Amino acid sequence: MYDNINMKLTIDEVKGVDLLNDIPGLLTKCSQTVFDNGSISIVGYHGTLKVKVSEQAVKIQDSSLCKWFLGDNFQGLTRGDVRRAVEKLSDELHLPMNLADITRIDIAQNFIMNYEKDIYFNHLGALQYFQRYQQNNGLYYSNGNKTLLFYEKVHEQTVKGQPIPAMYQGRQLLRYEQRYKKRLLQCFNRPEMKASTLYDPVFYTDIVNRWKSDYEKIKKINDIQINYSMVKTKKEQAYQAILFYVSQRGGELQVTNEIKEAYKRGELSKKQAYDLRQQVEEACRSKALTSSSDVIQELDKKVKEAARFYL
């Protein structure tokens, strides 16, 4: 499930090694930058991995360890795969990359789905403490330290001009990805985060479970049933009216966003906006008047199966 992994191996871990002299010769497409203070930085590539070398450190950044090791990132690195990838990288760069500090982790899985991505996006609602925002090919949840992202993988590869494996051509391939890019020690409550940590069994189990758990915490938007045979109380009748309004306005997300905008314009007080959002949410969660979406059931199953497989 691992994909992009950023590493930083400092000179403290390889004392006696002249990084600027030894490493650039192992790279291709190198470019050099000389700074005002006289220090030098060289950026090149080891296969598909972007490598930055200075006197003080070697960094692997902004590239997929999965793609480098397996040939593409339609697959995912297992715990065993990432261990072998780190060992291979160590051998080829002649450096103990298992001692490198980890500064970014992406963990992801691709799912062959029945429908286009937007259908799933429309049923993925809010996530507490995260900002939800949608772009052309992706649905993002971000809280500063961590990002959850859903996007269409085949489309992304097509835009980049990258090859698509035969088994995925013409398929709806939804990718669910989790990115840790800041404060990793705080996120995982660890004193250090080394490359060897990635294949530690306890850590690996934890990060896969986090990937699954964070998905499960996203509020799922039910399908609305406009059916008066199910209305038995005044409360259910009120909910039915709200659900009809919600369906006419374009869905729960659209209505809650309209309420937020009304609050920002000063048309509603903070409490009024909160109460209205709560009422819409309660109506949309009414088991008598709504039902779990088939598309969410499909995605739920895929996520659970992936977590179970990689563990």
pTM summary value:
0.83
Please, which pLDDT band fits residue 177 given cuts at 50, 70 and 90? very high
Number of other residues whose CB lies within 10 A of the CB of residue 187: 16
Task: Please report, for the chain, the start and end positions of each structural domain, with discontinuous segments joined by +.
Answer: 2-217, 223-291
Please, which pLDDT band fits residue 231 given cuts at 50, 70 and 90? confident
* Average pLDDT rounded to a whole number, residues 89-103: 96
Please, which pLDDT band fits residue 244 given cuts at 50, 70 and 90? confident
Q: Is 96 exposed, middle or buried (0-12, 13-18, 19+ CB in 10 A)?
A: middle
Q: What is the rounded CA–CA span in Å between residue 3 and residue 1?
A: 6
Straight-line distance from the first to the last Cα atom of the chain, in angstroms, rounded to the nearest whole number: 10
| CA 74 to each of CA 21, 83, 309: distance values in angstroms, whole numbers, following the listed order | 36, 19, 16
* Average pLDDT rounded to a whole number, residues 156-170: 87
- The kind and range of the H/E element at 201 are helix 201-217
